[in-house]
Chains A and B, each alone.
Chain A
Amino acid sequence: MIGRLFKFHGGIKPDAHKNESAGPAIQRAPLPERLVVPLRQSARATANCLVEVGQKVLKGERIGEPEGFLGTAVHAPTSGTVVDIARHPMAHPSGLDTECVVIEPDGEERWIEHAPFDYHAASREESLAWLRDCGIVGLGGATFPSHVKLGKGAGVETLILNGAECEPWITCDDRLMRERAADILAGATILRELIGARELVIGIEDNKPEAIAAMKEAVAASGHGVSVVAVPALYPAGGEKQLIRVLTGIEIAYGKLGGDYGVQCFNVGTAHAVYRAFAHGEPLISRIVTLTGNVDNAGNWEVLIGTPIQDLLPLARPRPDTDRTILGGPMMGFALPRLDVPIVKGSNCLISASPKLFPPAPPEQPCIRCTECAKACPAELQPFELYWFSRSRNFGKAQEYHLFDCIECGCCSYVCPAHIPLVDYFRFSKSEIWARERDKAAADQARERFEFRNFRQEREKAEKAAKLAAKAAETRAKLAETSTAETPAGEATDDPKKALIAAALARAKAQKAEVQPQNTENLSPQTQAEIADIEARRKVLAATAATTDAPSVAGPTADAPAAGTDAAAASAAPDAETRS
């Protein structure tokens, strides 16, 4: 099994702040007045609505039909009445909206009939379909559909269960492991069977001794051959690629999936949901959410999907000087632009923030090329080079220096003595590049259409010319015929026509060959999901650039990378020039 641990480059050790919320046991959040259940629950796929306004639904009843390769089903989190089906803002940095089913709970929590699913008696395809129909997606944050991640069921040697939870403040996986270790383990062994892996390794950061002990105990009780491994607490050890690297030494390149390397990784929360789906036939309708930060009553709550965040926050009793709420951890999360948005399957933590707890970043200073950022970067990039390229909008160079290998972990921004919001620059560059990519794709299409028209016109011209030539040849031939009996007229009529058409074709082909291949082809579903996300962000950027009073959520760094909005952009130009 796992012999020695590997290291990944860089990483940082921010204050963990786990104690605030790790103590109390998971509580059940009370039913809100309304549940807003988005039909878009998994990355890049929106379910087909199955209900109508006024319809009564039961807890666990399917309200959204999975659609497409990445689709998963959506269920009513409780019993009640559908009161509205409309677009509603989401917990998204830009407050993007999506189609939602609004349910008014009847308070009875009446379950729809549900029964365990015996995956031993079913085919693998049926089991995967069951997961899809139970709405199981990755609960680590990416909400990638688990049935897709389970893949072909071959070629994966090692299944890794991610219990690292490396982001500061978040403790939902910690509590889940402490309290429901056996269920997690049961779910994990089902996943192992479905993916056809030999090995199952549970990786947990060593700052969670209780969770490690609980999982070890569960493993011992089950008699399964599973290793529970304490990995050194070093952010971002819980990043999927980093954890795989630490446990197996395997490095997964950008755009690749673990499956390509014989290893796959699931979050502990996902394993728990898988267990509920198979052992109890329950769809994924709730998750554990950490409420912490500037609050008096931090802890973890089991929350129904669709619960509005503003209904949830009072449970933790935020202190009066709370000025924003961060969804996710402080390293990769974002301040919510509005609080009337629902908890979704990927929402793991809400941090009440105050200026004291998360002071605004000090003013940005010039980069002194100290390479602290490069030392901290787990993707082994040279962030300061990417920063120069992003600032001068030299996106080609940025890509050459592997901009897209950046996992946006924020380590570089964390360590930078010049307080440069490096990740913000990288997010900006990525979205710009995708936008250009998309514009180019559109342009390519237009060009193809144009070229085809050209080709057609040329062809028609050629045909006309050929016809004329043929006619001329014919007359010549006729003339010749009168003088000599034998004539090569047949060839003469064919040749010029053929040659002209061939020439036109060749031209068209050559033009087509010049059209560069798009690098958006052959992408993995995960990458496509990333693209979708980035596009969404880009829209926001465009919006903030257009309107100055757009909701600016996070203090002084807010506009720095949004080019064209302020002094940062203005000052970027001359500096960039002197540099290049």
Chain B
Amino acid sequence: MIHSPYVRKPVSVQRTMGLVLIALLPGIAAYAWQAGPAILVNLLIASLTAVLAEALAMWLRRRPIGLAVGDLSAVLTAWLVALSLPAIVPWWLTVSAVLVAILAVKQLYGGLGQNPFNPAMVAYCTMIVAFPALMSQWPALAGGFDAQLQLILGGARELDAVTGATALDALRTGLRTAGATVESVSAGPAFGVFGSQGWEWVAVGYALGGLFLLATGIITWHMPVAFIVALGGTAGVFWLIDPAQFASPLFHLASGGAMLAAFFIVTDPVSGATTPRGKLLFAAGVGLIVWLIRNFGAYPDGIAFGVLLMNICVPLLDMKTQPRVFGHREAAGGDQ
């Protein structure tokens, strides 16, 4: 039997996942700097839960535990869950979310590589449906670490002191009062230079990490570009038509989880489209749905729902966008 090639590129799943984790660091650093170190506690809780859950699942499925835990995919899922949730949710909510992601979405479908849905996004959706109130309390900027820690550990919630409205929330609720315009709402404290006060720097951190991923070839340009163009483009068109009622594209891109989504969430290889054209359509679809939900939906941000809706379309997208195969170019003398 032939078993060539005998040489292999020094790459591994572990390396891929590790690089994505590294790419998340600038965003995490900005997060901790802007909103306090509570996020670090949550990342830790999420990571531990994920590793234990993964090990348990592998043990139950009688598969090698070390290989699966060592590939870092569970840790990455945990980080994405933690970064999607508000940083001051109680610890049991983080744990539940991670368990949903690892056990229900990933392992029940057969483990790494098999899940049709993005685990972190299913976890987010489950939590926002189950605990809408907790899920809408974001930490106030420069909140005290002690107070945040109390909340995570399940302390009583005297919210005003430690939580603040996000810009997306403020805009949504603000615009529903009569006579309000984007301009008048944006004068509020939740708004920053070009996005959500403080959070815009987290977005910059994510974008930097995303550029790193592009440079290392872990992701291709298709998804981030399509997502940004779809979200920014749609926002831009409506903003030009009626700037009083619709926020600017820059605001949309710098708020909420847009940058996290552009570089880390829509780019999840397992549950996303795989062909170049499929990737463009997939990410553009998410971008469009995000804008629609942000403007007309019942939830402040629509990334999770957008991703899950597009996950459903992946088999179709992949099938319909299969690239042309070498030698099957039209004409050229030999095509059937």
Contact = CB atoms under 8 A, between A and B. Distances in A.
Contacts of B114: 366, 575, 578-579
B178 interface: no
B15 A382 contact: no
B5 A414 contact: yes
Contacts of B110: 574-575, 578-579
A541 B1 contact: yes
Contact of B113 (A261, A368, A413): A368
Interface in A461-500: none
A334 B2 contact: yes
20 contacts: A253-B334, A326-B6, A331-B4, A331-B7, A335-B6, A365-B13, A366-B113, A368-B73, A368-B112, A368-B270, A369-B269, A369-B274, A370-B269, A382-B274, A384-B274, A385-B318, A416-B8, A417-B12, A417-B15, A553-B3
A250 B3 contact: no
B11 A332 contact: no
Given A365-B13, A417-B12, 16 more contacts: A94-B1, A241-B327, A252-B327, A256-B334, A330-B5, A335-B3, A369-B274, A371-B274, A385-B318, A414-B9, A415-B9, A417-B11, A424-B2, A544-B1, A555-B3, A578-B109
Interface string B293-334: 000000000000000000000000010001111111100111
Interface string A356-376: 001001110111111110110
Interface string B157-168: 000000000000
A379 interface: yes
Contact of A379 (B11, B272, B326, B335): B326
B111 interface: yes
Interface of A: 8-9, 12, 14-15, 93-94, 168, 241, 245, 250-254, 256, 260-261, 326, 328-335, 353, 358, 361-363, 365-372, 374-375, 378-382, 384-385, 401-402, 405, 410, 413-419, 421, 423-424, 427, 537, 540-541, 544, 552-555, 557-558, 562, 574-575, 578-579
Nearest to B71: A365
B67 interface: yes
B275 interface: yes
Interface string B92-128: 0000000000000000011111100000000000000
B181 interface: no
Interface SS of chain A = loop
A427 B272 CA distance: 28
Q: How many of chain B's residues touch chain A, expressed as a range? A: 35 or more
A354 to B, nearest CB: 11
Interface string B15-56: 110000000000000000000000000000000000000000
Nearest to B271: A369
B305 to A, nearest CB: 22
A358 to B, nearest CB: 4
Given A256-B334, A379-B325, A384-B274, A415 B7 contact: no
B2 A260 contact: no
Given A365-B67, A368-B269, A382-B274, A253 B3 contact: no
Contacts of A405: 325-328
A419 B6 CA distance: 12
A251 B5 contact: no
Contacts of B9: 12, 14, 414-415
Nearest to A407: B326
Contact of B8 (A361, A554, A579): A361
A374 B5 contact: no
B325 A381 contact: yes
B12 A332 contact: no
B335 A331 contact: no
Given A365-B67, A382-B322, A417 B269 contact: no
B61 to A, nearest CB: 9
Contact of A380 (B71, B272, B325): B325
Given A370-B16, A380-B325, A413 B332 contact: no
